[in-house]
């Protein structure tokens, strides 16, 4: 079998899954959940996977030598592997996505790691402060986007020549991760950020004003060039974006606007700061940006159970993260029926390669009980997987445990 036939065979199987009744039912359930229907079954999703620990999996072994074909082969193999082994509520879109091609100059400042010779291969880093004073702020500048429509068209035509009779080929823009404080932390370092909001609040205000202005201009450019992503097949911070609302169904792919899109963001460095400080240095600045979008997925690894009140200031927030460090009862009561809870299940429970069954069950049951009591729609998201001790079947077992708890609750 030649390389083209290998990719076509994979595409045929992928297409069967993507148009199946099972997939349509998953999409419909996500739609109900994201429309705040508390009767929707809690979806289960696994993402941000430590694929480097899956080296022995034959289903993931790519054989194509041609670079373009290998990219297609990899997409089909990995998406179907997820579906087959721990897909749970993963929805495979009924098309092959081709990334729209463009260049971006960035902010003008980037992170610089400290000397890490003593802990090579670590998953965390220490940074040298690149945003220490007002002189450093002068280095920050607006993004400059250069669009290459000709390359996008060529890639689309090439993919269509290979699988166009099997699947639609769709150019896709970008989903925005608007965590400005993540960028600042990578450029300053965690300690420098936390000291700055205490010792240099006016400098931090100047920094945030400039960063938000830059981000707003960047979004303007993406919108003007139709480089945003929205609708079927888009994921926002690991979760599906189907919404059972007419405005979502009416999205025009030829002219995607910010109000058609989901956006995600967080201020993880503010994990331990007060709600008032979080509000002053994050919410007040980010609110005008988030309010441009149709739906906001807010939060990541930081606990937010004491901060739902300030999050409510942002009018388009639809889902809120509940990290492993969250008081889930307090957060669900504060959220009520107004938001979807994205319960971030603890990745430590699978780090050994064997699920900590009792802990997984306890975490799942506590979440289900809290959300049922407050009428809060909920999804379970296992992400940030640094290790599963090279035992892929661990994720299948975890998904089975969580789904069983949901079914039997």
Q: Which two tokens stand for residue 140?
A: 């920050």
Which of 344, 307, 339 is closest to 322 using CA atoms? 344
Q: Is there a contact between 240 and 31 (Cβ–Cβ < 8 Å)?
A: no
Q: Show the CA angle centred on residue 343, arms to residues 337 and 349, nearest 5°.
A: 155
The whole-number pLDDT of residue 125 equals 83
- Yes or no: domain 3-408 corresponds to CATH 3.20.20.210: yes
* Contact partners, residue 316, CB within 8 Å, separation at least 6: 290, 291, 293, 294, 295, 296
Model confidence pLDDT, tens digit, residues 79-106? 999 999 998 899 999 999 999 999 999 9
Q: Which two tokens stand for residue 141?
A: 């500048």
Question: Taking the chain (409 residues) in consecutive chunks of 10 residues, what is each chunk's mean pLDDT?
Answer: 96 98 98 96 98 95 97 98 95 98 96 79 84 96 98 98 98 97 96 96 98 98 98 97 97 97 97 96 98 98 97 98 97 98 98 98 98 97 97 98 97
What are the structural domain ranges in the chain? Answer: 3-408
CA distances from 333 to 138, 306, 309, 364 (A): 44, 11, 11, 17
Tokens representing residue 194 in the block: 């936390």
- Per DSSP bridges, beta strands 235-236 and 239-240 are antiparallel
Residues paired with residue 343 on neighbouring β-strands, in sequence order: 322, 380
C-alpha distance from residue 129 to each of 126, 185, 231, 241, 277 (Å): 10, 9, 39, 36, 22
Residues ≥6 apart with Cβ < 8 Å to 239 = 30, 43, 45, 297, 319, 342, 379, 381
For residue 296, list its beta bridge partners.
263, 317
Residue 115's pLDDT is 76
45: left (phi over 0), alpha (psi -120 to 50) or beta: beta
If you write DSSP's letter for every residue of 202-268 in order, what string do you get?
HHHHHHHHHHHHHHHHHHHHHHHTT-B--STT-EETTEE---SSHHHHT--TTS--GGG-EEEE--G
Query: Sign (positive/negative) of CA torsion 345, 187, 173, 65?
Result: negative
Return the CA Rg of the chain. Answer: 22
Q: What is the distance between the alpha carbons of residues 361 and 363, in angstroms, rounded to a whole number? A: 6
Cβ-proximal residues to 22 (8 Å cutoff; 6+ apart), any chain:
none
Question: In sequence order, what are the residues at sequence separation of 6 or more whose Cβ sits closer than 8 angstroms to the Cβ of residue 311?
Answer: 283, 298, 299, 304, 317, 320
pLDDT of residue 124: 78
Over the stretch 199-241, which tens digit does the pLDDT of each residue have?
999 999 999 999 999 999 999 999 999 999 999 999 999 999 9
The CA-CA-CA angle for residues 123, 125, 130, to 5°, reads: 150
Q: How many CB atoms lie within 10 A of CB 299?
A: 27
């Amino acid at each position: 079998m030649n390389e083209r036939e290998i990719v076509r065979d994979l595409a045929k199987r992928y297409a069967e899954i993507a148009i199946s009744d099972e997939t349509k039912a998953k999409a419909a359930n996500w739609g109900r959940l994201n429309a705040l229907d508390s009767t929707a079954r809690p979806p289960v999703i696994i993402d941000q996977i430590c694929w480097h620990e899956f080296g022995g999996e034959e289903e993931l072994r790519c054989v194509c030598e041609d670079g373009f074909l290998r990219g297609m082969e990899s997409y089909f193999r990995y998406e179907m592997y997820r579906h087959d082994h721990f897909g749970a509520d993963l929805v495979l879109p009924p098309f092959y996505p081709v990334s729209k091609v463009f260049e971006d100059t960035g902010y003008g400042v980037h992170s610089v790691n400290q000397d890490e010779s003593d802990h090579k291969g670590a998953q965390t880093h220490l940074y040298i402060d690149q945003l220490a004073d007002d002189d450093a702020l002068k280095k920050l500048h607006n993004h400059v986007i250069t669009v290459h429509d000709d390359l996008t068209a060529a890639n689309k035509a090439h993919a269509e020549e290979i699988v166009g009779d099997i699947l639609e080929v769709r150019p896709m823009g970008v989903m925005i991760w608007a965590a400005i404080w993540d960028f600042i932390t990578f450029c300053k370092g965690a300690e420098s950020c936390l000291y700055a909001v205490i010792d240099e609040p006016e400098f931090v205000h100047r920094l945030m004003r400039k960063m938000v202005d830059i981000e707003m201009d960047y979004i303007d450019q993406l919108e003007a060039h139709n480089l945003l992503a929205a609708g079927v097949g888009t994921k926002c911070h690991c979760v599906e974006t189907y919404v059972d609302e007419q405005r979502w169904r009416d999205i025009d792919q030829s002219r995607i606007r910010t109000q058609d899109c989901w956006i995600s963001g967080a201020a993880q460095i503010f994990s331990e700061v007060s709600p008032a400080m979080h509000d002053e240095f994050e919410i007040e600045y980010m609110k005008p940006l988030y309010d441009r979008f149709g739906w906001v997925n807010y939060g990541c690894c930081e606990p937010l159970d004491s901060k739902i009140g300030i999050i409510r200031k942002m009018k388009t927030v639809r889902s809120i993260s509940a990290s492993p460090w969250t008081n889930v009862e307090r957060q669900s009561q504060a959220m009520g029926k107004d938001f979807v809870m994205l319960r971030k299940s603890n990745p430590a429970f699978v780090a050994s390669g064997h699920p900590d069954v009792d802990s997984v069950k306890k975490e799942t049951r506590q979440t289900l009980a809290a959300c049922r009591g407050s009428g809060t729609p909920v999804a379970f998201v296992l992400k940030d997987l640094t290790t599963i001790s090279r035992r892929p079947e661990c994720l299948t077992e975890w998904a089975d445990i969580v789904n069983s708890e949901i079914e039997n609750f």
